[in-house]
Amino acid sequence: MKDKKRRLSLIVALFFLLSLLFSFAESAEQDIPKKFFVPPPPFTPGIFPCSQCHQGMPVNRKPRKLEQMHQEIQLKHMPGGWCFDCHNPDNRDKLRLANGQLISFEESYYLCAQCHGVVFREWKAGLHGKRTGMWNGEKQYLLCVHCHWPHEPRFKPIQPLPPPMRPSDIK
């Protein structure tokens, strides 16, 4: 009898501790807003809305070398990937996640987050990229694509330059 009671109180205590832990985890999560304030996406002037050309245009899903338009886009990202891993074929003004959900270009970080989860977590916390604003209030973020061209996101190595000349060496 006594044993049963002790076991019961142990279980109750365990539940209490667990719920405490969960509420802490939740409040930590709440420090990070669900909506991120960002400047407008860095489109080439005149390219958006994409539907100005793509509405009514047949969709060509075949990976190929583009010749009539967008020739400057050379995919050097995710080997084996193609445009529609990110762009939505039916409404070109939206991006599309792997689960089929459509998102706007103002939310392109959710697209990147699918594969770069660790960097996304760091970005939300202001450790990666650039975040400005109040420490305890509204914050502004730069989109991943303000710094990374999504079609070739890796930064190119910088050419090393010779060191500056010493004044004593100037003749």
Name which of 139 and 142 has its Cβ closer to ligand HEC.
142
Name which of 20 and 115 has its Cβ closer to ligand HEC.
115
Q: Tell me how far apart the alpha carbons of residues 145 and 5 are, in angstroms, rounded to a whole number.
A: 60
DSSP state, residue 50: T
Q: Tell me how far apart the alpha carbons of residues 56 and 90 are, in angstroms, rounded to a whole number.
A: 9
**Contact between 47 and ligand HEC per CB under 6 A:** yes
Cα 157 to its chain centre, rounded Å, is 22
Q: Which of 77, 94, 103, 126 binds ligand HEC (CB under 6 A)?
A: 77
Q: Tell me how far apart the alpha carbons of residues 102 and 88 are, in angstroms, rounded to a whole number.
A: 8
* Rg over CA atoms, the chain: 25
Name which of 87 and 139 has its Cβ closer to ligand HEC.
87
Q: Tell me how far apart the alpha carbons of residues 13 and 21 are, in angstroms, rounded to a whole number.
A: 12
Residue whose tokens read 């959710």: 110
Q: Which of 9, 60, 101, 104 binds ligand HEC (CB under 6 A)?
A: 60
**Contact between 53 and ligand HEC per CB under 6 A:** yes
**Contact between 120 and ligand HEC per CB under 6 A:** yes
Write out the residues near ligand HEC by the rule CB under 6 A: 41-44, 47-48, 50, 52-54, 59-60, 66-70, 73, 75, 77-78, 81-83, 85-87, 92, 95, 105, 108-109, 111-112, 114-116, 119-120, 123, 128-130, 142, 144-148, 150-151, 153-155
